Structure 1
Amino acid sequence: MIRRIRRLGFRLRSFAVKLVAAAFIFAIVPVLLYQQFNAAEHQRNALMLRLVQEQGRLAGEAVFPLLDQFSPRSADRLNQAVNRLADGGISIKVLFRPAANSGSRNFLLVASAPETGVEEGRAAMDRLAENGVLTQLTASCEGNEPLALRLPAGAGASQGGSELLTYLAPHATRGGCWVVLTAQPTGTLPEQTIGQPYWQHPEVQVAVSIYLLMAVLVLSIFTDVWRNLHRFRDVAQSLVRGEAVSFAAENYIPELSEVAAEFDAMVTTLKRSEALLRQAAEENAHALKAPLAVISQSMEPLRRAVSPGDSRAQRSLDVIAQSIDRLDVLVSTARRIDETIAGLIDRPRRRVELSALLERLGRGYVRLAADRSIGLELRLAPGLVVTGDDDMVELVAENLLDNALDFSPSGSVVTMELRREAGEARFRVLDQGPGVPETEWERIFERHLSHRPGTTEGGGDHYGLGLWIVRRNAEAMGGRAWAGQAPGGGLTITVSLPLAP
């Protein structure tokens, strides 16, 4: 459970997860704000509409007493009252339909403020008729009910402008039906707020611009860092393939310049260390093998000088010769260790025809196995190519075959397989020997560990480096190696290597 929690926490710290989370937040916040703004917009519009309606109602009630006493002589008083009420920024029209004429086209424009000429008045009445307003007035007069409605843009135009909101107040008299129509012309505060979507307000547009700028900025920060890390990954993979690339050259974020420079310095140091290790291995091997060769050559005069009957001296010479041979093997082994460690630092990434290499190597081992009365069966899939190094792959295969032949009894069969599995090239060597307990499957890859009958760890001519080199070389080429049980109780060693692109 703790490991799962740690793994989950590790994934949650991913830049990709945080980028997705930030994008989701920036996407969901406008939705929530839209819902709130939309509700506030409806409330504001309802409030402003009611305000305009109340303003129209008051204007109508102020005109009603004059309508009850209207006569041609009092027309000037009506015009003065309408103009005085229109000073508040509203447009007022007083319409009259005689009782004898009930059609919607029989309404007459009696007074208007702001004042309009005859032609403009006729045009305004035509627009009211075209938009169905006069029909609404007829229904309102018949029911003697006030009516509030929203006029389309252009209806009831005054002075070339448009009137968007209106309040209709009917008033019935003996002579007919009077209607006081109040509207909000273009340019007044109610018209600017009512009927205009909230997202068209300058304040909202500025806030949206700032929000979008912030979202782009934050997401660009995550995206730039995430992409830069992926570029660093590509550079690392290119370095493993042996290409001449640089972290600093692929870095596009100034804050990561020092990190990229340190990476380049580390790569340079590692390459220098790899070269020094190989050079030291060569020099040490040469420096030690030269004295050993001199001592070995000096043994011949000593053997001739010592009497054949002096058994003690002859035994001493034999011990010295054996020690020289062991020292020679130790020097070669130390050189192989240094070269293997150097290979871990500078991983080779060349194309290796694995199928052909193992086929050629296996054919040579068939004769060696036959000399020991052991069969060698090859099951190699053709055409598999991996990235690595020919010498390192050959050394891995040789160590596996040597190890299997050493532990296989006479009359048994050793099998070497190669196949494509899980997007990798996997070759394994199976023997029919005594096998290794499962608890020792990891230990046999340790350095200087050798379990052979009649020897101690690292004793005799075996220094427990074969399987250690197998795993180290596999890891140096980007692969891995592991042990398992073969059918029949023997040992299986499997090595996986990445396929070449």
Structure 2
Amino acid sequence: MGKELVRYFRSFAVKLIAALVIFSIVPVLLVQRFDAAEREQGALLRHLAQEQGRLAGEALFPLLDTLTPRGTQRIDSTARRLAEGGLSIKVLFRPAVASGSFLLVASAPEDETGQGRGTMERLLSSGVLTSLDASCVGGRPLSLRLPGDEGGGEVLTYLAPYPRPTGCWVVITAQPSGPLAERLLGRRYWRVPEIQAAALIYAVMALLVLSIFTDAWTNLRRFRAVARAVVAGENRGSFADANRVPDLAEVAREFDIMVATLQRSEALIRQAAEENAHALKAPLAVIAQAIEPLRRDLPADSVSLRRSVELISLSVDRLDALVSTGRRIDETIASLVDCPRHRVGPSTLLAALGQGFARFAEERGLRFEIRVSLGLMVIGGTEQIEIIAENLIDNAFDFSPTGGVVTIEVRQAGSMAEIVVSDQGSGIPLDDLDTIFERYVSGRDGGDEHDGLGLWIVRRNAEAMGGRAWAANRPDGGLIVTVALPLAE
């Protein structure tokens, strides 16, 4: 389980999904943090601006008790002095006997009367003055932009009323348009050039990292498609043709070389097996033919000579069987080097194959039963599956007593298709259940017609197709051999 988890977390697909999730979550977290920081900064700046306006108002309040020409000049000069730090101050007065109109008493840093008049018009149009009722209630922070005459404008930050018996004084402070005013008005952080540049760099980095994973993952899937085509014996291009990543070009070429080498090795093994068998069988046939005249011309009373000729004849037959066995081994190995992997239906295949074995079983006094689950598909070669079935059935026939029952069953077990052959023979000792799948192991008594390769070939073919083979004794006597092959997707 631990190895499976490690293998799972090392896959490109999982890492690609993890990178995508990370690159999606990080901006969300940053946006949340930037929003919180922006709110905190805006609150702090508004508080500072309000305090600055409050202090300016308190500095002016002692001068607002009476409205005289001299007092107006003092108010104006004080307002200009307070505005030297970049603050904009406006002092308004509404006489108690007036009908509700405010008068602009002082406005700094404006110097011209026309600018003051424009300021009053903007205050009226913005609704700031109308928000003060008859009792001149106010005292609140503001975040209201007043456009300027030439597109500049300012942001009102504080309004402080000062009711007196003679009328209502109002001190309004403002910040000129600029970075501080933008923050007070809630300028979004994503409009800041530095933030935009950082976001662009992050997006490019995310696309770059994801493209690396995506290119590698898709390239490996193309490699897998080529590998499956090669195993299935289809000629659908090469690894080099399927490659799209320059850094993997050398790897793709090495894969092509490896495939070509395996295919050439398979052909050479088969060719060498045929040539060696032919080269060895020819002199053996000559020896066997040469023995016949000697056997006929031997004196009847020469027992030792006849015994020698018989030993030579038996040895020739044994050598001939060994040559056939060696050729069979080489052909089996060659088929494993380049094992085909097609979609094969073992149920249909073995149902048809079993009909021939049913007649053979009758001749030997046996009963042969076939039970198959239809519709199962595995990946492998038709010839390999036929060889598996033939060796298993032949082995079961040889060890079944007369009147016994041999059964072949094809069934599904999870993600595997199982070929199960059982007999009613004497079974196998527990210590030898795995040994019978080795080469040259045969439980038959005497004779050279059996080379002990049947079950060895069964296991080799099963493993070449991604499966396995094992044996077990039946509870009521006999042997069960099971071959499990992966089901096709």
Q: Shared fold by TM > 0.5?
A: yes
1:137 maps to 132
2:183 maps to 193
Kindly indicate whether the alpha-carbon contact (under 8 Å) linking 1:151 and 1:163 is maintained by their aligned counterparts in 2: no
Residue 70 (str. 1) matches residue 60 (str. 2):
no
Judged with a 3 Å threshold, the aligned counterparts in structure 2 of structure 1 residues 289 and 165 are, in CA distance, closer, same or farther, namely farther
2:358 maps to 366
Using the TM superposition, give the Cα deviation of residue 355 of structure 1 relative to its aligned residue in structure 2, in angstroms. Answer: 3.7
Using the TM superposition, give the Cα deviation of residue 434 of structure 1 relative to its aligned residue in structure 2, in angstroms. Answer: 1.8
**CA-to-aligned-CA distance 1:65-97 (integer Å, 9 cap, x gap):** 443342357656655554565454443332222
Question: What letter matches 2:293 in structure 1?
Answer: P
Range that drifts further, 343-352 or 475-484: 475-484
Question: What letter matches 1:225 in structure 2?
Answer: A
Using the TM superposition, give the Cα deviation of residue 368 of structure 1 relative to its aligned residue in structure 2, in angstroms. Answer: 2.3
Q: Describe how 1:348-367 pairs up with structure 2 within 5 A.
A: 348-350=340-342, 352=344, 354-367=346-359
Q: Describe how 1:52-451 pairs up with structure 2 within 5 A.
A: 52-71=49-68, 75=72, 78-79=75-76, 82=79, 85-86=82-83, 88-100=85-97, 106-113=101-108, 114=110, 116=114, 120-121=118-119, 123-129=121-127, 133-134=128-129, 136-138=131-133, 141-142=136-137, 147-154=139-146, 159-186=150-177, 188-194=178-184, 195-244=186-235, 245-350=237-342, 352=344, 354-382=346-374, 384=376, 386-451=378-443
1:14 maps to 11
Judged with a 3 Å threshold, the aligned counterparts in structure 2 of structure 1 residues 225 and 382 are, in CA distance, closer, same or farther, namely closer
SS at match of 1:151: strand
SS at match of 2:174: strand
In 2, Cα distance between the equivalents of 1:139 and 1:396? 106
Using the TM superposition, give the Cα deviation of residue 371 of structure 1 relative to its aligned residue in structure 2, in angstroms. Answer: 2.6
Using the TM superposition, give the Cα deviation of residue 352 of structure 1 relative to its aligned residue in structure 2, in angstroms. Answer: 4.5
SS at match of 1:169: strand
**CA-to-aligned-CA distance 1:412-465 (integer Å, 9 cap, x gap):** 10001123443544322111112224443332211122234x56xxx8443221
In 2, Cα distance between the equivalents of 1:49 and 1:357? 85
Kindly indicate whether the alpha-carbon contact (under 8 Å) linking 1:109 and 1:125 is maintained by their aligned counterparts in 2: no
Judged with a 3 Å threshold, the aligned counterparts in structure 2 of structure 1 residues 479 and 73 are, in CA distance, closer, same or farther, namely same
Q: Please provide the CA RMSD for this pair.
A: 3.1
SS at match of 1:249: helix
In 2, Cα distance between the equivalents of 1:409 and 1:90? 114
State the aligned residue count: 484
Using the TM superposition, give the Cα deviation of residue 25 of structure 1 relative to its aligned residue in structure 2, in angstroms. Answer: 3.9
Judged with a 3 Å threshold, the aligned counterparts in structure 2 of structure 1 residues 172 and 499 are, in CA distance, closer, same or farther, namely closer
Judged with a 3 Å threshold, the aligned counterparts in structure 2 of structure 1 residues 260 and 140 are, in CA distance, closer, same or farther, namely farther
In 2, Cα distance between the equivalents of 1:139 and 1:413? 114
2:483 maps to 495
Kindly indicate whether the alpha-carbon contact (under 8 Å) linking 2:396 and 2:422 is maintained by their aligned counterparts in 1: yes
In 2, Cα distance between the equivalents of 1:22 and 1:52? 44
Range that drifts further, 238-247 or 8-17: 8-17
Judged with a 3 Å threshold, the aligned counterparts in structure 2 of structure 1 residues 44 and 384 are, in CA distance, closer, same or farther, namely closer
Using the size of structure 2 for normalisation, the TM-score is: 0.87
In 1, Cα distance between the equivalents of 2:289 and 2:387? 31
Judged with a 3 Å threshold, the aligned counterparts in structure 2 of structure 1 residues 269 and 342 are, in CA distance, closer, same or farther, namely same
Kindly indicate whether the alpha-carbon contact (under 8 Å) linking 1:158 and 1:185 is maintained by their aligned counterparts in 2: no
SS at match of 2:469: strand
Q: Describe how 1:29-68 pairs up with structure 2 within 5 A.
A: 29-68=26-65
**CA-to-aligned-CA distance 1:21-80 (integer Å, 9 cap, x gap):** 444443444444445434433332233223322332343344434433423576566555
In 2, Cα distance between the equivalents of 1:428 and 1:345? 26
**CA-to-aligned-CA distance 1:205-230 (integer Å, 9 cap, x gap):** 22222223223322332333233333
Alignment gaps of 5+ in structure 1:
none
* Over 6 Å off, 4+ runs: none
Kindly indicate whether the alpha-carbon contact (under 8 Å) linking 1:140 and 1:147 is maintained by their aligned counterparts in 2: no
Residue 466 (str. 1) matches residue 454 (str. 2):
yes
In 1, Cα distance between the equivalents of 2:377 and 2:54? 91
Using the TM superposition, give the Cα deviation of residue 9 of structure 1 relative to its aligned residue in structure 2, in angstroms. Answer: 4.1
Using the TM superposition, give the Cα deviation of residue 480 of structure 1 relative to its aligned residue in structure 2, in angstroms. Answer: 3.1
In 2, Cα distance between the equivalents of 1:160 and 1:364? 100
**CA-to-aligned-CA distance 1:374-419 (integer Å, 9 cap, x gap):** 1111223445554433333222211111100111112210001123
Range that drifts further, 349-358 or 389-398: 349-358
In 2, Cα distance between the equivalents of 1:53 and 1:381? 85
In 1, Cα distance between the equivalents of 2:442 and 2:135? 109
Using the size of structure 1 for normalisation, the TM-score is: 0.85
In 1, Cα distance between the equivalents of 2:5 and 2:375? 41
Residue 482 (str. 1) matches residue 470 (str. 2):
yes
